[in-house]
Structure 1
Amino acid sequence: MGAVFVGVRHHSPACARLVAATIEAQRPAYVLVEGPADFNGRLDELLLGHELPVALFSYSDEHASWSPFCDYSPEWVAITGARRCGAQVRFIDLPAWHEAFHAVGNRYADAELRYAEVVERLCREFAVDNVDVLWDHLFEGAAEPEGLAEYFDLLRGTVDADEGDSAREEYMARWVRAAVRAAGDRPVVVVTGGFHTAALKAKLDGDAEWPEVPERDRGASYLVPYSHARLDAFTGYQSGMPSPGYYQQVWETGARRAADWLVESVATRLRRRGQPVSTADLIAARTQAGALARLRGHEHPARTDVLDGLTSALISEDLSQPPPWTRRGTLRPGAHPALVEMVAALRGDKVGRLHPDTPAPPLVEAVRELLRTHELDREGEVALDLTDARALTRSRVLHRLRVLRIPGFERTSGPAEGAEPRLDERWTLTPVEGRLTALIEAAEHGATLEEAAGAVLTRRSRHAGLEQLAAVLFDAVLCGISTLSGHVEEALNEGVRETGDLAALGHVLSGVIGLWRHDRLFGVQQDPLLGAVIDTGTARVLWLVEGLHGGPAPADPHRLRAMAATRDAVRHAKAVLSLDAADVTGVATRVSDDGQAPPDLRGAALGLAWALGAKPDVRKVRGVEALGDWLAGLFAVAREEVLASQDLVGVLDELVSAMTEEEFLVALPALRLAFSYFPPGEREAIATAVLAHRGVAGSAGDVTRLQVDPVVVAEAMAVEKRVDAVLAKGGLA
């Protein structure tokens, strides 16, 4: 009998029905399906009794891909139909980890972009918006999808296969030839993407031996639960078909009832959100959908007929963005509520479940055991005292799960990179439907939780910038992973040595100093590589700031952070610095006296010298330009020293009091930034010193606890000044 080819569009109910009818009519000896051939020995796992959608997840070094199946996937229908009629089933495509798939994340993603020109021509000819609407118009609503082979032949005739497609087609053709020979006088049904069908038909002559399955050095394949949300093209997934919830209804009940379901589902969702949807609105939507279907030549309202009818009936104002079904894109923020609910209804909410006997990678059981052992397999809040060894171990388990992006483990507070250390953490544990899927997919990184988290951090570090490297190092410390720290620290040291970005350098230096200072908490034990980063970073900061010139500019909190980190390096890591405190103080003094340096940097330099023991000349403050920016720098680095200097507070009070109203309004944003470095109690202490300097009795608390935003007060002062000027000009003052 030979081969009977059924070219399909992946995730198409019409194609799934065609596959089922073909298998039922042919009663073949073999059913060959586009799928990973290395899974043939485990096909029984697919038929354990899962709740679809599920996906076959395959991974190897640096690559992972999914082969998703839902109830109406032609490939799934081919597998189940073959088993019912006693045919042998074989996947015939190259494994998903093969180099032919290196640019492919989803095996069953249709490749319309490769033949966009002919698709655009067909869309113009049939007056439709895109390939999805074209497909519905030609095939999905028809009782029999006539012309399907001609459609695929037309698409394939416009483009050449790339190297990956050619390799796959040659491999699949070998399976077809071998199956035809083995089947004798019985047919062989071949179910592949329609793009490949013509090429396979042309390759029926040649070697008829069963092909070998390529082997890999590392990697594995496992079934994972999937969901309609992950399948939907409207949420960014290139599935080949959007709106899986709607097509599930088409598969189960037919196009006419699916149209009614969509109207009712959208109405229900909108009413739950408090949006008014009347019976008259629904009647109008159905009427409009029916009229559009007749106008467009559809036997029953198609998906876009219903959506356009709903849009017409429910949305009266202009839309801020085109509906996603007209352009096959995701909804952007600010979309109309009706559009949001239409897309949600189309998507559906079905979530797959694996049969309990489904094999899982070692990581899944390893994590379950860790959660049980450390009492983290529950719901609720978890408080951890990080000075306790058992709590620190639990924290590391949770951080490793966080790094792997396993859902259901959210840290609400705890130590932060570059911040003062916290000795406690709080987490919220929540049961999440997608946790099993995430764990199976995380298994590509390793068989244990520590190994997998370490592999993810190493991968993050390979192409990371300076700040990202510091974040990776901090995550590694929180996870208790030391295997990658050497690599990351060496890369950090090199990046610190070469960078010209003072802001990034300050971020890194403050983070590394935090780890160095609190080694007992994090278990870093004053690592010598960390010390090398501190030494190199401190010298680099001083080299950069001494050459930084420029006129007055808003204070930059990021470079001020670098100056504060330099102060902390001298204070807390003096033993690893090649510079001594006198060298640092000398650079700081030169920068503070440099009239060409930015005001905030000059203030920070004076603060650095002061914090390291140099006595500042308070009289120099009187000649400072851009006082607010200068103070921001000073306070960022020498906050404690300022609080202890009554003389400086008095001079600052005199300078601010001497400002005109206009000068004060200009300086106000910088002054607010400067004083934001002081917590409320310290601001009150400064207010007390100011009152004492003026000889005024009263409560400093009343001065610092304004009920109105200072900016509002300043704006009111400006308005009053303009009113006074107008009155004076008119002789009414």
Structure 2
Amino acid sequence: MTGADESGSRRPGAGPLLLGVRHHGPGSARAVRAALAAARPQAVLIEGPPEADSLIPLAADEDMRPPVALLAHAVDEPGRSAFWPLAEFSPEWVAIRWALEHDVPARFIDLPATHTLAWGKDTEEALNDAPERPGAREPAVVCEDDDMHATRLAVRVDPLAVLAETAGYDDPERWWEDVVEHRGPGDGDAFAPFGALEEAMGALRETYGSGGHDRDLVREAHMRLQVRAAQREFGDGVAVVCGAWHVPALRRKTTVVADRALLKGLPKVKADMTWVPWTHRRLSRVSGYGAGIDSPGWYGHLFGVPDRPVERWMTKVAGLLRAEDRLVSSAHVIEAVRLAETLAAMRGRPLPGLSETTDAVRSVMCDGSDVPLALVHDRLVVGDVLGEVPRSAPAVPLQRDLDRVQRRLRLKPEALERELELDLRKETDAERSRLLHRLRLLGVAWGEPVASRGSTGTFRETWRLRWEPELSVRVAEAGVWGTTVPAAATAKAEADAVAAQALAEVTALAERCLLAELPDALPVVMRVLADRAALDADVGHLAQALPALVRSLRYGDVRGTDTQALAEVAAGLAERIFVGLPPACAALDAHAADEMRRHVDAVHGAVGLLGDVPAGDVSAPAAPGQGEAGAAGGACAGGHRGRRLRGRWSAVLRVLSGRDSVPGVIRGRAVRLLLDDGELAHDEAARLMGLVLSPGTPPQDAAAWIEGFVGGGSGGGMLLVHDERLLGLVDAWLTGVPAEAFTDVLPLLRRTFSAYEPGVRRTLGELVRRGPGARGSATTAGSGIPGFAADLDPGRADAVLPVLRLLLGLDGDEGTGNNATEDDNNLAEAGR
């Protein structure tokens, strides 16, 4: 065969067949397949890490489904990793599949990953500081790892942009689609596209050299050495699939000595490789591990549907919109296709591209709205495709254990985000919860806990799941802690406890250990917790640590976890807070006082929960042989402890509410908490408010007291609505604030009352407009806001009893017996 024809197409027989491609380009993939079928090479060399040669046969496994990626990670530092993603429409994947189907040797020829990972370590800081350069595209990129991303950032000129501008296009993507992607499978000579690209890239390399990055020269030297070795083995029957940017360098004649000199002294690390699943969403990301293509779903459609792609695409879009309950008919599809073709003709394009189809969908199917169009972009243009790899692929032991547990619990990793509702009373759901919590502790954030919509009980959990490709790296990184998920999570928890700097970190870790059910890690965590708690004298730190510790005590009933040690530590922390809180609240500025108020709220909630903890968790368990009597004694002791802690806390709040040295915001909050718990009568609360709002108190201090008493989300607005005396005190004080001080207190008052719901603010405004003491007359006169009076109206209260009986399911009773009468009495008393 001749070496080259008039078109410049280089054919087999005159050196290796160099097929320059755009990574993840469906047009390039089809062209590679056609060229390989025409040339029938004896060996196929592919741009990629040579350590992955042994993994190539797995591409023929029936369980291998792209998108997938080659993952290389340093053995001694698994977190240092690199990915080489391959989609179904990637030219490299097409070359691998062709070689396997035709029993032709396939090899990777790029720089080994052992050097790539070492290079990434040296340039990590430079990569983090480098700015993102808009317009960078794949011909300048070899593989999709951190080090190669640094290459893309360093290239000064985007080859596609230069070629597109030369051809008169302002969009490189549109130029590439017109020139390459819209070529049919039988459009002319199979080698012509590669000859044209080689000539164009040769001109660019003559002008720009290596594009401003010398590492391309090193990689290309290694590729030339590998090509020479293959030629010695197979002659000129060698095909090379690589980025088009590298073709002129591989064609250039150099000496072996010069190429080896460039490779001498390269840093290296020991590396392992495997296949991991990848996603279309990751292919669409430019930075990090992404491949930088904008529309992987669209590219996959072009590659998989060579005939009538626009018609089939519009049918897909219509199906998606119909599934979302939008009215889309066959007429919409026909009209959208016509509009896309018309737009392509007006713009001088051979076929409608993504921009034309998107404009047509927006106009015809989405009524000009970008909201449904965003759904089309997310689900179809990008897509949520997640690849699969066979079980026979190499993996760290932790990954194999995770795969086994996932299959047993029927938790399949998915790229599409979904919510998972768990009922911890069911064994399977409880095991799923434990797995997700253990993975989070290991840094594998497959699931994110979210608030449950259906229930607030501790027996229910809601998780938002999405599997991202980099989680495979996190699993490999966590493999240093153990070979199974429980063992690795236990070791990681113990190490985190020892390394924790703050007391709150240890208490949060104890809570996570209980959620993950790691009984072997708890002794170490509890020992560290006890030591840190004994040495930490900062009341703020203790107050931060107590809530998480007390929350953990609630897990004993549903999860069957022994929380006795936690209860003892929690009670000890509470006692130390009781002693240290009053002195810690003295002489605080406004910012510190507001922070301490939040601590008081947190401790109040924790003490309430600590008093509600089942007695068996708070007291010591019955000794062997004590039986039920011993357990009953423990329950009594636990109940006594809960009451004692609440009593001690009420005493602390009384101290805070009465000390003048305590900031007003804390004193006001202490009075409010006592009032809510029934430890303070309304008359006494009104008296304390009257003292604070007297003319002798500086306006700023009085405003801070009001902020603490009725501010924020404490429900203070409803308290003022229902207690006319308190509202009258606030109203009288506010109208008496001197003009010169009003400007200073206004921001604080605005913050206090702006947090109320609009209905509460409107009701307060109406009550203030009528003036104190006008409620009864307003109600009697039938005007104003009904339902507010000095005393309870039994007739109005009894009117709601039938509705309450219906809501509570009590209307099955006849309503005349003793049971019905007792129910009515209970309901009426509850209403009062």
Q: TM-score, normalised by structure 2?
A: 0.60
- Corresponding residue number in structure 2 for 1:148: 197
Q: Indicate the larger mover: 586-595 or 337-346.
A: 586-595
Which whole-Å CA distance do the structure 2 matches of 1:382 and 1:89 have between them? 47
Q: How does 1:233-248 map to 2 (within 5 A)?
A: 233=285, 238-248=290-300
Q: CA deviation at 1:148?
A: 1.8
Over residues 187-222 of structure 1, what are the superposed CA-to-partner deviations in whole Å (9 max), with x where a residue is unaligned?
A: 4322222344444455842259999999866x7433
Q: CA deviation at 1:558?
A: 3.4
- Corresponding residue number in structure 2 for 1:448: 484
SS at match of 1:52: coil
Which whole-Å CA distance do the structure 2 matches of 1:408 and 1:606 have between them? 35
Structure 1 residue 655 corresponds to structure 2 residue 668: no
Structure 2: tracts of 5 or more residues without a match: 1-13, 128-142, 413-418, 612-617, 620-640, 642-646, 693-701, 736-748, 761-786, 804-832
Which whole-Å CA distance do the structure 2 matches of 1:153 and 1:223 have between them? 34
Letter of the 1:366 counterpart: D
- Corresponding residue number in structure 2 for 1:76: 93
SS at match of 2:97: helix
Q: Indicate the larger mover: 232-241 or 6-15.
A: 232-241
Q: CA deviation at 1:10?
A: 1.0
SS at match of 2:48: strand
Q: How does 1:190-339 map to 2 (within 5 A)?
A: 190-201=240-251, 204-206=254-256, 220-233=272-285, 238-254=290-306, 257-277=308-328, 281-314=332-365, 317=368, 335-339=370-374
Structure 1 residue 340 corresponds to structure 2 residue 371: no
Q: CA deviation at 1:77?
A: 1.7
Structure 1 residue 56 corresponds to structure 2 residue 70: yes
Which whole-Å CA distance do the structure 1 matches of 2:81 and 2:339 have between them? 45
SS at match of 2:89: coil
Which whole-Å CA distance do the structure 2 matches of 1:499 and 1:344 have between them? 54
2:180 to 139, 142, 145: 139
- Corresponding residue number in structure 2 for 1:620: 688
SS at match of 2:256: coil
Kept in 1, the 8 Å contact 2:21–2:242? The answer is: yes
Are residues 301 and 213 of structure 1, via their aligned partners in 2, closer, same or farther at CA, if it must alter by over 3 Å? same
Structure 1 residue 526 corresponds to structure 2 residue 565: yes
Are residues 471 and 51 of structure 1, via their aligned partners in 2, closer, same or farther at CA, if it must alter by over 3 Å? same
Over residues 116-143 of structure 1, what are the superposed CA-to-partner deviations in whole Å (9 max), with x where a residue is unaligned?
A: 6545565556565644333213322234
Which whole-Å CA distance do the structure 2 matches of 1:20 and 1:135 have between them? 18
2:670 to 604, 607, 611: 604
- Corresponding residue number in structure 1 for 2:699: none
Structure 1 residue 512 corresponds to structure 2 residue 531: no
Q: CA deviation at 1:12?
A: 0.9
Which whole-Å CA distance do the structure 1 matches of 2:579 and 2:163 have between them? 65
Which whole-Å CA distance do the structure 2 matches of 1:499 and 1:273 have between them? 58
Letter of the 2:119 counterpart: A
SS at match of 2:565: coil
Q: CA deviation at 1:34?
A: 1.8
Identity score, percent: 23
Which whole-Å CA distance do the structure 1 matches of 2:589 and 2:449 have between them? 47
Which whole-Å CA distance do the structure 2 matches of 1:305 and 1:517 have between them? 58
Q: CA deviation at 1:560?
A: 3.8
1:475 to 508, 512, 524: 512
SS at match of 1:147: helix
Q: CA deviation at 1:531?
A: 9.4
Q: CA deviation at 1:406?
A: 4.5
SS at match of 1:6: strand
Letter of the 1:655 counterpart: L
Kept in 2, the 8 Å contact 1:20–1:78? The answer is: yes
Which whole-Å CA distance do the structure 2 matches of 1:694 and 1:306 have between them? 69
SS at match of 1:62: coil
Over residues 627-656 of structure 1, what are the superposed CA-to-partner deviations in whole Å (9 max), with x where a residue is unaligned?
A: 65333589989x9xxxxxxxx99x976333
1:396 to 434, 438, 441: 434
Which whole-Å CA distance do the structure 1 matches of 2:502 and 2:244 have between them? 44
Kept in 2, the 8 Å contact 1:115–1:158? The answer is: no
Kept in 2, the 8 Å contact 1:232–1:239? The answer is: yes
Structure 1 residue 425 corresponds to structure 2 residue 459: yes
Which whole-Å CA distance do the structure 2 matches of 1:204 and 1:32 have between them? 19
Q: CA deviation at 1:302?
A: 2.6
SS at match of 1:307: helix
Kept in 2, the 8 Å contact 1:497–1:537? The answer is: no
Which whole-Å CA distance do the structure 2 matches of 1:375 and 1:276 have between them? 36
SS at match of 2:44: strand
Which whole-Å CA distance do the structure 2 matches of 1:468 and 1:294 have between them? 64
Q: How does 1:713-728 map to 2 (within 5 A)?
A: none
Which whole-Å CA distance do the structure 1 matches of 2:215 and 2:525 have between them? 35
Kept in 2, the 8 Å contact 1:141–1:298? The answer is: no
Q: CA deviation at 1:410?
A: 9.0
Structure 1 residue 11 corresponds to structure 2 residue 24: yes
Q: Indicate the larger mover: 272-281 or 562-571.
A: 562-571
SS at match of 1:71: coil
Structure 1: tracts of 5 or more residues without a match: 320-334, 417-421, 576-580, 640-647, 676-690, 708-733
Over residues 539-576 of structure 1, what are the superposed CA-to-partner deviations in whole Å (9 max), with x where a residue is unaligned?
A: 99767643433399999973443453796899999x9x
- Corresponding residue number in structure 2 for 1:724: none
Over residues 586-606 of structure 1, what are the superposed CA-to-partner deviations in whole Å (9 max), with x where a residue is unaligned?
A: 898478533782424543389
Over residues 288-322 of structure 1, what are the superposed CA-to-partner deviations in whole Å (9 max), with x where a residue is unaligned?
A: 332333344433223323333433444554x6xxx
Letter of the 2:478 counterpart: H
Are residues 483 and 429 of structure 1, via their aligned partners in 2, closer, same or farther at CA, if it must alter by over 3 Å? closer
Q: CA deviation at 1:341?
A: 1.9
- Corresponding residue number in structure 2 for 1:37: 50
Q: CA deviation at 1:59?
A: 3.5
